[in-house]
Structure 1
Amino acid sequence: MRHSLHLTFLCLSLLTGRMCIQGNQFNIKASRSDKLSLPGFENLTAGYNKFLRPNFGGEPVQIALTLDIASISSISESNMDYTATIYLRQRWTDQRLVFEGDKSFTLDARLVEFLWVPDTYIVESKKSFLHEVTVGNRLIRLFSNGTVLYALRITTTVACNMDLSKYPMDTQTCKLQLESWGYDGNDVEFSWLRGNDSVRGLENLRLAQYTVQQYFTLATRSQQETGNYTRLVLQFELQRNVLYFILETYLPSTFLVVLSWVSFWISLDSVPARTCIGEGKGSGRSQHH
């Protein structure tokens, strides 16, 4: 009896151990497959030097850009500038970040500090800031072929030289220009991802005093003392809405002038009527100013 109990216990132990080993092997295989599809950030960046651009010492990095114009909040004739909120997206390939599989994954924005990113800046920007609520409005996404998508939400005030000789029936041409701060054309080449279709949002803008007539994109070269740089340009035309100024300026001024003429048709003896007209014109001027 005792011998049979020992034999039964031994069989159960062997069976349980075999099941545990098979379970562990399954977990190991599953974890390996997960690592192949979504690798750990530490594995990708092992030996990675963020201070060196991709293809360091070789061909320039090809960076494709797209823009979404969220809003143009103000256009100032006195300061000759405009303020816009934009979504800037940049794509490039970094062979050091290639991994197996066909998936992509989005990283926490704080991990951008551990990767190489372009030093893109806005030419003729007076002031700019990156939105920080509730966290820094940045996105970094990695694809298995090494493609990196880097997106930012920026509000910027950009200079725009205006010709006001035909005010208020004028049309102004403004630009938004993007360029690398430190990398010249031998290191970085910028391009629009889809030509004119790389820019969205301008056609949907509704401005109080202006209408966006047309816009187009182009790529040019900027020759500086430190080198020859690629510059991407978004150029758009703003036509002033004449109806706005007719309602706000011309009509009130015309009514005041017509009202002042009425006094010539009033009898000299009608002092109260002249007084009321004078008070009406005075209050109209004070409200207008």
Structure 2
Amino acid sequence: MQNLKVRTFMPNQQSTLAQVLKEFNLSQIKDFLALLPIPVIYRLDNTLYFNDAVTKLLGYESAEINNLTNWQEKVCAGRVYTLEPNNSQLLVLAKKDLTQCFVEATLYKQDSFELWFLQDITQYLSLEQQAKDNEAQMSNIIDSAMDGIITVDNNQDIILFNKAAEEIFGYKEAQIIGQPLNLLIPNRFHSAHQKHIHNFEKTGVSNRRMGHLGTVTGIRANKEEFSLEASISQVKIAGQVLHTVILRDVTERKRLEEELHKAQEEKLARKQELLLDSYKNADLLFSALIEVLPNIILDGKYRLESKIGKGGYG
């Protein structure tokens, strides 16, 4: 259990207060406790005295919980807590309205009496749990993403590496966290990458969409190079600029594009070949026609003269 960073009274102040109260009589102690804004319980043997802040916290009047037995049965709801002097402990206490509250309790003991300082941390724990739930939800979203997601810090060291990135690059998250991003980039591109990041930071632009960067080259754990599409974003948190890259392995798409391009080139070459063949055939046909055309003309002339001689016309 972490101690809260902010307290109404710091531990050394609480200890000093306990020493001061040692010199007071019971009436003075009760009057003094009533002035304190924080929940404080004064125990003398088996009897408990507490201030209005305790009543406000738990809903019980002092007369309803004036001894350890009542405290144990009503407030602790049967739970047994053993407080160690000068140490803080988390208590789950039952309120009068039957709801629960979480309290950080610190015990200071001076001779025959004890002081219990209570700090209600219910809201703090609720916010902490909410933050954990939000973090878990975001982690699930990131890990279920189809694209690789990588976040790096100011030093370009990897601080986030999702499941898709593991599959793309062949590294496990535990292997890659804390490693430089350059591990995933071929050596010949390191200088260009650093220059690009520097220029991107200077622009002040928060993101660049997928495809805007063109195709980039990555390197897998097995040293295989492959093609990627990437989008990049930057955000400043606590004075540190974080860059997040969303990556898509386009190796298969590039392969299909190359196959399609090759098929189109082959198809075009075939068309050109067929066209050339048709030209050749036309040329042969024309040559043959040239050879027989005189005979056809002569033959036609002979037939025409023959008809005229026989009086076939006129």
Normalization by structure 2: what TM-score?
0.26
- Greater fraction of residues in helix: 2
Higher strand proportion:
1
Higher relative CO (CA 8 A, sep ≥ 6), structure 1 or 2? 1
Larger radius of gyration between Structure 1 and Structure 2: 2
TM-score normalized by the length of structure 1? 0.27
